[in-house]
């Protein structure tokens, strides 16, 4: 099958659309983790961790580099900033806490390469949103702009033929029944077969 240049450009436009949609979905989807000795990257969104046991579990957030990390959570008293541990290239920022039974939520800001770490035999379950609501909205808006731009580009190559076809499809029929004559039906005389039918507007007196 021989492809002309316009066809190739349309195919490339749809490749861009598919790539952008995949990127947007992959960027905003939640990540799930489970197991003992659980460790995972926190990203920038909400972190939900479930402790199915009846006892609290020792856990911590650890960030590399020199940036202080700040933690907010639904656990009473578990809010604050990290403590610097070590010096030089081994320096980290650490925030230690007790993870209570049940489900807890956290948000972490600041820090560098922040990870959640829990060295425990208890099998924990966690869900991580990779970005905040504001960042997620920005990604969706950017993806929508690229998708609509690529669609318009592909449509423009074809001279917007699909739009012309759509207009022809929805155009009203020339034989619209609403335009038909709705006047009174003419009256036909009954030749001796009974009383003569009177036409509309006949004022003759019957004798």
Q: How far is CA 178 from CA 33, 169, 172, 175, 181, in A?
A: 64, 19, 11, 9, 9
Predicted confidence (pLDDT) per residue in 8-29, tens digit: 888 898 999 999 999 999 888 8
- Eight-class DSSP state of 54: S
50 near 103, Cβ under 8 Å? yes
132 near 56, Cβ under 8 Å? no
Lowest mean pLDDT among 47-56, 75-84, 85-94: 85-94
Continuous segment of H or E residues that includes residue 157: helix 133-157
Query: What is the gyration radius of the CA atoms in the chain, in angstroms?
Result: 37
CA dihedral of residues 166, 170, 173, 177 (deg, nearest 10): 170
107 or 1: which leads in pLDDT: 107
Work out the number of other CB atoms within 10 angstroms of the CB of residue 1. 3
Is the pTM above the cut of 0.75? no
């Amino acid at each position: 099958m021989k492809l002309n240049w316009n066809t190739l450009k349309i195919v490339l436009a749809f490749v861009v659309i598919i790539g952008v949609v995949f990127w947007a979905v992959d960027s905003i989807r939640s990540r799930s983790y489970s197991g003992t000795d659980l460790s995972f990257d926190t990203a920038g969104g909400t972190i939900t961790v479930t402790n199915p046991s009846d006892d609290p579990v020792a856990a911590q957030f650890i960030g590399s580099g020199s940036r202080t990390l700040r933690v907010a959570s639904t656990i009473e008293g578990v809010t604050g900033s990290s403590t610097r541990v070590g010096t030089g290239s081994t320096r980290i920022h650490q925030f230690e806490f007790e993870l209570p039974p049940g489900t807890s939520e956290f948000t972490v800001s600041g820090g560098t390469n922040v990870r959640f770490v829990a060295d425990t035999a208890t099998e924990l379950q966690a869900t991580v949103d990779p970005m905040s609501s504001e960042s997620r909205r920005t990604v969706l808006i950017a993806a929508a702009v690229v998708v609509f731009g690529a669609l318009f580009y592909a449509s423009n190559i074809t001279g917007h033929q699909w739009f012309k076809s759509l207009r022809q499809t929805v155009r009203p029929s020339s034989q619209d029944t609403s335009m038909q004559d709705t006047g009174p039906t003419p009256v036909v005389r009954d030749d001796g077969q009974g009383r003569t039918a009177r036409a509309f507007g006949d004022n003759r007196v019957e004798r």
